[in-house]
Amino acid sequence: MRSRWLHAPLLHTAHGRERKVTWLELFYDLIFVAAIIQLGDALGDQVSLGNFASFAGHFVPLWVAWSGFTFFANRFDVDDFTHRIMVFIQMFAVGAMAISAPHAMQGHHAIFSFCFAVAQLMIVVMHVRAWLQVPKARDYARYWGIVFAISAACFLIAGFLPTVWAYGLWGMGILVIMAAPISRSSRALQERYPIDMEHLAERYGLLTIIVLGESFVKVLSFLTSSELATEFDTVLKGSLGLLLTCTVWWIYFDDVAGSRLKKHRGAFEVWFAGHLPLAIAVTGVGVAVKKAIKFDFSVPAPDDYRWLLAGTLCLTLASVAIIDSVTARREAKLSDHARVNVRFASAFVVLLLGQIGSQMSAGMFMALITAVCVAQVLFDLMMAPMEAAEHSGDEPVSIAELARQRAANERTGKENRPANIGDTIRKGAPAELRSDLYFFFLQGSWTRLLMSLVFVYVILNVVFAGLFLLEPGSISGNSTDGFAEAFFFSVQTMSTIGYGGLSPATSYGDLMVTIEAAVGLLGVAMATGMIFAKVSRPQANALFSECMVLTTRHGKQTLMLRVGNARGNEVVDATVSLTVLKEELSPEGHHMRKLHDIKLMRDRSPMFAMSWSIIHEIDADSPLFDVDWDDADEHIMMFVATIKGHDGTYGQTTYSRHIYYPEDVRVNERFVDVISQLEDGRMMVDYHKFHDTVPDEEVPSA
């Protein structure tokens, strides 16, 4: 038992036990809610580039103070009276920073500076205590104690200096902390005392939740106080704002928060630093969303609020892209480079919309901004359709265990069909070996391809319309210099239509037309290639029987299945193979799932046009010789049948496969005959009876 009054901190690293977020850490986070709301309100009172820079400059010390305590809690486990008092003192200091933040943004920086110095000094005292009570971690405590002491000294001195000099010292104090992790000494300490990334990722996720929560607080508080809260357009604007917040949440927590850090030099430093602009941007989004509710959707949005929304969303997407570049997404089908490129491209589109927003209505601006953000969510669902946590703890089970599960399912009436082998979960596949976009669309559905092409086509025209509008008068015949005419001129240019009403009028316009024409030609070629590749892919025409039969033929036990040519065209030089997957136990006790080829009476046919019975006689050399068919699923996992041949219609080789499970084998039954001859001499295959079987003792009707 440890004393509640005073006990030595315990050093915690990634090699130790799992670190959980403590109640004290969660309570500590609450003070930052007030601080962030105060800063956001100060930004919302006067939206300008200079005020945003001031807002960001005062947000950084808050973020650094929060990070300092978070990193200490990540390395040292302590929760006694002394530690709680130090945390409370730091919380009061941060609270005072929140109160003084609006005044600090107006140039009265002293109180804010002194309070930050006190908050940093508490972190220094925590490290001094660790240096005294944890001898094996003294080098770590000494290094970071000195770093935070230098930072605190800079802010303490800055409180006595004029504003210009004070901000310079602020920059020095922040730079000391931000640069400390990349030093050689810090890297050596990190190797000696590994960071618990799961705990750290959870802490920064909680901070992001706090920042995102400000958006909901601002939107709901405005709707509550507004007399127009029940009007349809006000509800619509508020819903769009909350939808933007939800997409930002989705992008972070379905992407960044669930990704592991790559083992690259500098990856952690980029991950850590990337969360600073992300927190600033998400806070700005919350302020902008509240302002967006006041937009009149029939006229262009005000320049300052439009730029605040577009700029902060652009910074959000760019920050996520930076973090994405050093993380590996779990269970993604596409390479990690794809998501990084999509984030940066989307950030550019949002920034461009901010520039051209004055040439469109606020409703159109909000619709396009929302569409870009929603597209991020849809892209995430396409590239990673499976949830990592869904199977992260699954353990392989034996065939016998699967058999017991199937028997239990039969008793309870549950679905008893095993999953398709094509749905195999591939954990930990290297990012560079995952699907590229061409393979991704070629393998996917027509809906995925067509919807993606339509979205890319529309967004490219939006981008080029924005580029044309960057220079007023670049389009001849554009009477209003509006977005709609520029968009439709872009459509004519990209599709090389050119009706003659609109044309480039300046050298810049000619340059944009040249670039867009090239992009259009390349886009048409790529889209045509993918569509043609999907259309021209040969489709297999083989129909496998739903079951296999185990019967007696010529006095020998025989396993049979049959394949039919449902399309009826010529398949030349067809070959078939049958393989069984069995679970075997080595003499040393190792379980192994091993494939065995099954010898067939005839595995080749010069012409496959009707029906083909695939026959295997079970003898002493057969891998099925020792199988107890009353309990076959104790040893057999599945049968895999494949057929391949040259399709005369496509002029290409086609193939097809089918999987049978032990419960698909019907013992002591035979297939019903499906081939007969008509009066005019033609042969007929009755596919209505293709899967039908009868017991061996019965004689099937003709």
Evaluate if residue 394 carries a pLDDT over 50: no
CATH of the domain at 487: 1.10.287.70
pLDDT at residue 386 above 70? no
The average pLDDT across 455-468 equals: 91
Task: Among 168, 195, 222, give the residue marking a domain's end.
Answer: 195
Q: Are residues 479 and 562 in the same domain?
A: no
> How much is the average pLDDT of 98-123?
88
The verdict on residue 641 lying in a domain is yes
Q: Is residue 593 part of a domain?
A: yes
Are 513 and 550 within one domain?
A: no
Q: Whole domain around residue 529: which residue ranges?
A: 450-535
d(CA 53, CA 58): 9
Please check whether residue 323 lies inside any domain of the structure: no
Where is average pLDDT lowest: 172-176, 206-210, 240-244, 432-436?
Answer: 432-436
High-pLDDT (> 90) share of the chain, %:
21
Please give the average per-residue pLDDT across 103-124, as a whole number: 89
Residue at 335 is within a domain: no
Co-location of 79 and 11 in the same domain: yes
Whether the Cβ atoms of residue 344 and residue 321 lie closer than 8 Å to each other: yes
**pLDDT band at residue 352 under the 50/70/90 scheme:** very high
Asked, for residue 565, whether it belongs to a domain, the answer is yes
What confidence tier does 539 reach under pLDDT thresholds 50, 70, 90?
low
Measured CA to CA in angstroms, residue 187 lies from 143, 181, 183, 626, 690 at distances of 12, 7, 6, 60, 69
What is the mean pLDDT of the segment spanning 344-350? 93
8 and 91: one domain? yes
Q: What is the mean pLDDT of residues 347-368?
A: 91
Instruction: Reply yes or no on whether the pLDDT at 702 is more than 60.
Output: no
Mean pLDDT, rounded, for 416-431: 53
Contact 437, 379 (CB under 8 A): no
Reference 291, options 218, 194, 228; nearest CA is 218
Q: Phi-psi category of 618—alpha, beta or left, where left has phi over 0 and alpha has psi -120 to 50?
A: beta
Model pLDDT, residue 391: 42
Indicate whether 261 belongs to any domain: no
In a domain, 283, yes or no: no
Q: How many CB atoms lie within 10 A of CB 277?
A: 20
Beta bridge partners of 656: 643
**211-252 pLDDT, tens per residue?**
887 777 777 776 666 655 556 777 787 788 888 888 988 888
Residues 607 and 683 in one domain: yes
For residues 497 and 635, membership in a common domain is answered with no
Q: Could you tell me if 10 and 157 lie in one domain?
A: yes
Do 521 and 623 have their domain in common? no
Q: Would you put residue 80 in left (φ > 0), alpha (ψ -120 to 50) or beta?
A: beta
**In terms of pLDDT, which residue wins out, 96 or 583?**
96
- For residue 86, the one-letter residue type is M
What is the average pLDDT across 667-696?
85
pTM: 0.75
pLDDT at 393: 43
Domain boundary among 195, 216, 234: 195
> Do 63 and 181 share a domain, yes or no?
yes
513, 567: one domain: no
Q: Which residue has the tokens 């990592």?
A: 388
Write down the mean pLDDT value for the chain: 82
Looking at 501, 535, 569, the residue that finishes a domain is 535
Dump pLDDT digits (tens) for 258-305.
Answer: 678 888 788 888 998 899 999 999 988 988 888 888 888 888 889 899
Question: Within a domain: residue 366?
Answer: no
Question: What are the pLDDT digits (tens) for 571-623?
Answer: 888 899 999 988 777 677 677 778 888 999 998 988 887 888 999 999 888 88
What's the confidence (pLDDT) of residue 390? 44
Cα–Cα separations (whole angstroms), residue 5 to 79, 80, 82, 132: 9, 5, 7, 17
Domain count, the chain: 3
The CATH number of whichever domain residue 585 belongs to comes to: 2.60.40.1400
- For 213-350, list the strands marked E by DSSP: 260-261, 327-328
Exposed / middle / buried, residue 552 (Cβ in 10 Å: 0-12, 13-18, 19+): exposed
Are 467 and 581 contained in the same domain? Answer: no
What confidence category does residue 392 fall into, taking pLDDT thresholds of 50, 70 and 90?
very low
Same structural domain, 524 and 589 = no
